[in-house]
Amino acid sequence: MKKGKLSIVILGILLAVLWLFPFYLLLSNSFKTPKGIFTSVLNLPGKFFTISNYPEAYEALHFLSSFLHSLIITVISVILLVFCSAMAAYALQRNHSRLSSSILLLFISAMIIPFQSVMIPMTALFGKVQALNMWGLIFMYLGFNASLSIFLFQGSIGSISESLDESAAMEGANRWQVFRKIIFPMLTPMSVTVAVLNIVLIWNDYLLPSLVLPEEQFTIPLQMFMFFGQFTKQWHLAMAGLTLAIIPVIIFYMFSQKYIIKGITEGAVK
């Protein structure tokens, strides 16, 4: 093996170890007693090994209900984001006018606006509509995450020849049929990429749900806060709870990873 390739391999291994190290800490400490964690965070559980953290964390998190709330919010938000963003990107990409360019620039500009700058007025507005709760949160996610999704879809649609639209139109298809039957199926890699990015953001979000959701609709990240009190921190239960929380995202990523790189690559081509 040449020195150049060897150095790349070594660098890749070092980066992989660096990336996997937090997962090692999370998993190993989730099987330790509190004494084991404070004795040594880096070591394997050894004599401090226990599996009781998981049932305790499961009960403390009210896992079934909080998991269901997280699942409903994430799934509905991601479905709406993927489909609505793809339609918006298709309309902007195929409409060659200054107005379309200006609207696209507006969406891109919105990506740099931090949530904290609109947090107080937005929650003050939606806080008056208590009946919205979970559905209001989904609507907010649609607004906040649409900019990035439209930007990615727009780049991917730009790589699809407009001759497909023209051919379908000559066969009698309207604009909606062209999008639904031809364009959207071709966007599968990018749709999966957009879905993964938004799933990670929405599933792990704490700040926005904490401002909107009532206690009976708490998601997993909100329930996780119960492990961190003012005077005590239950790290053993928090590690077990975090492990339970990331399992669904990891499973989805494993089934969709073959589309992700392809989708990102297509989105970079215009």
- pLDDT tens digits for range 73-123: 999 999 999 999 999 999 888 888 888 888 888 888 888 888 778 877 777
Distances (CA, A) of 29 to 24, 51, 129, 176: 8, 11, 42, 52
Query: Looking at per-residue confidence, does 261 or 216 come out higher?
Result: 216
Which pLDDT belongs to residue 70?
Answer: 92
| Residue 226 confidence class, pLDDT cut points 50, 70, 90 | confident
Q: Which residues contact 158 (CB under 8 A, 6 or more apart)?
A: 93, 269, 270
Query: Looking at per-residue confidence, does 264 or 3 come out higher?
Result: 3
The span from the CA of 63 to the CA of 55, in Å, is: 10
Q: Quick: pLDDT tens for 117-141.
A: 887 777 777 665 555 678 888 888 8
Distances (CA, A) of 259 to 16, 69, 247: 21, 27, 20
Which pLDDT belongs to residue 79?
Answer: 95
The span from the CA of 97 to the CA of 194, in Å, is: 26
Which pLDDT belongs to residue 89?
Answer: 92
pLDDT at 269 over 50: no
Which pLDDT belongs to residue 69?
Answer: 93
Which pLDDT belongs to residue 110?
Answer: 82
Task: Give all domains of the chain, ordered by start, each with its CATH number.
Answer: 3-50 (no CATH), 55-268 (1.10.3720.10)
Q: Span 172-194, mean pLDDT?
A: 87
Which pLDDT belongs to residue 270?
Answer: 45
